[in-house]
Every structure is written in structure tokens, then in C-alpha cells.
Amino acid sequence: MVLGVTSPAGTKPLTARPGSAVALDRVTKQYRGGGGIEEVSLEVAAGEVFGFLGPNGAGKTTTIRLLLDLIRPDTGHISLFGLDVRRDSVAIRRRVGYLPGDLALYDHLTARELLTHFCHLRGGPPWESVQVLVDRFDLDLDRPIRALSKGNRQKVGLVQALMGQPELLILDEPTSGLDPLVQQQVHAAITEAAEEGRTVFLSSHVLSEVGRVAHRVGLIRQGRVIAVKRVDELRDRSLHLVDVQFVDGPEPAALATIPGVGTVQQRGDAVHLEVTGSLDPLVRQLSRYRLRDLSVREPDLEESFLNLYEAGHALT
């Protein structure tokens, strides 16, 4: 018998899915009165930043609370690091940093008292490591929480989630309601965590935001995950949006016959075209006319995702 290869009868393997930090398998949770999530399956690899995108009420917070074993699914299975979230909740908790969406802090404490308290609860990451986070977020530790702005409270929440350098960060709408400067700091902290090899699962209702920090994006609507895409795949679509202002141009309808040109619309002084694939045929045609202005841009992430969604693409 080779030690370490065969496990004694009856013991379960420690890691059900090596390499996956988060795995939901056909998870359903329905609240009385409707709402919840249905048959959600997702897998997030270790080291990946996963953006969980959806409008309000879509089921993001429900999913996140299920991941943390704060609520239990009706059916389906959830594991973190290959460990069952229910059976192994104690072992998992030490490896996860969590920023809730509805962050409730003890108002009468100062940020220092609160963070010290969290530090003890976590089994004591050294204070110096917490101080590094405090410095980077430029947090005033000696004011009572109740005297802090929303942005500064959220920073306290973030320091609490990041302290001890957990392998997995679960952040529920971490930038919601924050001013752009603090949003940037939050994005930087996420990117940095990713660079250090941590896994990040963050929810948001703003695609441009998750597109900036995430490797993959999952879209949830009305409790169902309807698409999961790599962000570079979204950006990579060969669609271009072209606006042309002619000095003397053709009838817009004539442009619609050019290979690759889809939609053609007159928008004020300009003609707006959506071009798939090579721009070459269009450019050749345009060279016959005198132009006042020409702009070509790629669709932003929001437009790409909506196109994808509306086109009813298969889920991956």
C-alpha cells in the first residue's frame, strides 16, 4: 500500500474539486412569498476574480449568504475549497473574508476597538498587518463608527474582510454608494488581492465596474444565472460602432448593403453604423465621399453584455 494515495475506508476526500474555490451545484433557495435563486450552478477557480452581476432583487445577496452558510439551500450542494459549507463551516470560516452588503457595525465603538475585536475573533492576525490596511485606506481609527461617513464605514468593513489575508474574499456590492475615489481604492484592493493569488467573488449591479476588476462575469436575473463569460471574451467581440458625418454623403440605406454593416441609423448630423468583422469594406466605400468627422469605437462592456443577453446566447 502506498501511503497518502489510498485513504482509509470511510474517510471522505478533503478536496472534492481540486482547484475550485467556490462551487455551487444546482442550488435552489426559495423564500416564502417568492424570490430567491433557482438551480444556480457556478464554479470559481482558485485565484480567479469573479464578478456576480445582476439588477436589484436578482438573487446576488441570497447566493452570497448561501456561500457563507448564513442561510441553507432547499436543494443543491455548495462547497468552498472543495469543502462542504455546512459540514466544514468552521474550517472554511478561517479562510474567508466577507464584506456584507448591509454592513452593520457597532456604532458606539471606535474603528480601532472594532477592528481589534474582529482581530481577536479571527484568532489574531498581527496588528501590524491590519495597520498596513488601515494606512492604505487612510482610515481614522480613533473616531466612533457612528461619526464616520459611509465611505469610511465601508473601509472599516473592507479592512475587516481583508485582515489576515484570507484565501477567498466574498464582497457583496463593495462599492455601492461610495464616492469615485473610494471606489478606486476598493478596486485597487481587489486587484492587489488577485495579484497575490487570492480568489475574489464580488457582486455588483454595475457591469463596467466588474469588467474592470473581474476575470469572469456571471449574470443573474430573477434568481437564475443566465450567462457566464470571460471579460476578455466580452471585450473581444468583433463589433464596432461607427459614426460618420458626411459633407456630401450617400443615402444611409445605401450603406446598409456594405458587407459587415448591420444597423444604420441617422442620428442628428451623423450616420451611426454597427459593423461586424472587418472594417475594410466600409472604409473603402467611405473613401468615395467627403467626410467631416469619423469615429470608430468598440462597444462598452454594458453594450456587449446586453447584445449577448438579447441574442440569447447559450450559457457556458
Ligand X SMILES: Nc1ncnc2c1ncn2[C@@H]1O[C@H](COP(=O)(O)OP(=O)(O)O)[C@@H](O)[C@H]1O
239-248 and 290-297 as β-strands: parallel, antiparallel, unpaired? antiparallel
The residue (of 66 and 271) whose beta carbon lies closer to ligand X is 66
Q: Other CB atoms closer than 10 Å to residue 87's CB: what's the count? A: 12
65: left (phi over 0), alpha (psi -120 to 50) or beta: alpha
What is the total count of residues that contact ligand X (CB under 6 A)?
A: 12
Distance CA 216, CA 229 (A): 6
Report the nearest approach of ligand X to the CB of residue 34 (Å): 7
Under the binding rule (CB under 6 A), the answer on residue 62 touching ligand X is: yes
* Residue 36 interacts with which of Mg ion, ligand X, none, CB < 5 to 8 Å by class: ligand X
**Least Å distance between CB 149 and Mg ion?**
21
State the Cα–Cα distance between residues 209 and 23, nearest whole angstrom: 23
Give the Cα separation of 230 and 127 in Å (integer).
Answer: 37
Residue 104 makes contact with ligand X by CB under 6 A: no
Find out whether 42 and 227 touch, Cβ atoms under 8 Å.
Answer: no
Please check whether residue 198 is in contact with residue 165, taking contact to mean a CB–CB distance below 8 angstroms: yes
Using the rule CB under 6 A, which residue among 21, 27, 36, 160 binds ligand X? 36
Residue spans of beta strands (DSSP E) within the chain: 20-30, 36-45, 49-53, 75-80, 83-84, 96-99, 168-172, 199-204, 216-221, 224-230, 239-248, 261-267, 270-276, 290-297
Binding region for ligand X (CB under 6 A) out of 54-62, 257-265, 290-298, 308-316: 54-62
Does position 59 bind ligand X by CB under 6 A?
A: yes
CA–CA distances in Å: residue 74 to residues 28, 32, 69? 6, 12, 12
What does the binding site for Mg ion look like in residue numbers (CB under 5 A)?
Answer: 60-61, 101
Residues 212-241 that bind ligand X (CB under 6 A): none
Instruction: State how far Cα 246 lies from the chain centre.
Output: 41
Q: How far is the CB of 142 from ligand X (least distance, A)?
A: 33
Between 35 and 299, whose beta carbon lies closer to ligand X?
35
Q: Which residue is nearest to ligand X (CB)?
A: 35
Q: Which is nearer to ligand X, 69 or 167 (CB)?
A: 69
Decide if residue 38 touches ligand X (CB under 6 A).
no
Q: Does 56 bind ligand X (CB under 6 A)?
A: yes
Which among 50-58, 90-98, 275-283, 286-294 is the span making contact with ligand X, rule CB under 6 A?
Answer: 50-58
Cβ distance to ligand X smaller for residue 31 or 309: 31
- Please, what is the minimum distance in Å from the beta carbon of residue 76 to ligand X? 15
Beta carbons of 287 and 249 less than 8 angstroms apart: no
Site for ligand X, rule CB under 6 A: 31, 33, 35-36, 54, 56-62
